[in-house]
């Protein structure tokens, strides 16, 4: 196993961990620190926008992971977080595509829809339907 694979916790990967800055930037310490600060600031701005969008309609989580991907171009900790996230998403996808789980989810959805239909039917029989434009002033 290569050194970059062992640093990633034993996971095999085609990409090594660490900075992906251009070579001339990595050769100069001040340029590298400036580059990393810029990447951190841009990633932080994207993550903050994603956090702001979480309670609002929109792709908040996607934007947060986009900010993490920006950070992962320079920081090992972000690369490891993204690898862990990708692994968990892959595992969840495989579980969701399992035929037994899909069958169970379809059955639960059908039962829930029948219950909602029965409750709606009881409500309509008891109270009827009155359109808002037909409501009389009281």
Give me the DSSP letters along 2-48.
Answer: -HHHHHTTT---SS-SS----HHHHHSHHHHHHHHHHHHHHHHHHHH
Same-domain pairing of 105 and 43: no
Check whether residue 53 and residue 119 sit in a common domain: no
Q: What is the pLDDT of residues 41-75, one digit of tens each?
A: 999 999 999 999 988 887 888 899 899 989 888 88
16 and 69 belong to one structural domain? yes
Q: Are residues 14 and 80 in the same domain?
A: yes
Q: Looking at the 3D structure of the chain, how many domains does it have?
A: 2
Same domain, yes or no, for 77 and 103?
no
Say what the pLDDT of residue 126 is.
Answer: 87
Q: Smallest Cα–Cα separation from 68: which of 54, 85, 91?
A: 85
Helix (H, G, I), strand (E, B) or coil at 93: helix
Same-domain status, 13 and 64: yes
Is 83 in the same domain as 110? no
Closest CA to 68 of 80, 77, 78: 78
Structure-block tokens of residue 66 = 């986009």
Question: Do residues 115 and 52 share a domain?
Answer: no
Residues 16, 52, single domain; the answer is yes
83 and 61 housed in the same domain: yes
Q: Do residues 33 and 88 lie in contact, with contact meaning Cβ atoms separated by under 8 Å?
A: no
Domain that holds residue 114: 99-134
Asked whether residue 113 falls in the same domain as residue 51, the answer is no
Tokens 């059955």 label which residue? 107
pLDDT recorded at residue 11? 45
- The pTM of this model reads 0.55
**Residue 9 to residue 11: CA distance in whole angstroms:** 6
- Which residues, given as ranges, of the chain have pLDDT below 70? 1-15, 18, 20-22, 131-132, 134-138
- Could you give phi then psi for residue 20, rounded to 5 degrees? -110, 20
Q: Are 13 and 72 within one domain?
A: yes
């Amino acid at each position: 196993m290569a050194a970059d694979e062992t640093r990633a916790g034993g996971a095999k990967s085609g990409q090594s961990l660490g900075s992906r800055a251009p070579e001339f930037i990595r050769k100069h310490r001040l340029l590298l620190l400036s580059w990393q600060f810029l990447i951190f600031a841009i990633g932080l701005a994207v993550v903050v926008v994603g956090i702001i969008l979480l309670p609002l309609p929109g792709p908040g989580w996607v934007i947060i992971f986009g900010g993490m991907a920006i950070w992962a171009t320079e920081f090992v900790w972000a690369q490891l977080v993204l690898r862990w996230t990708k692994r968990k998403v892959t595992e969840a996808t495989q579980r969701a595509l399992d035929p037994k789980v899909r069958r169970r989810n379809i059955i639960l959805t059908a039962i829930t829809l029948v219950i909602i239909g029965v409750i709606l039917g009881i409500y309509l029989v008891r109270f009827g339907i009155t359109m808002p434009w037909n409501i009389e002033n009281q």
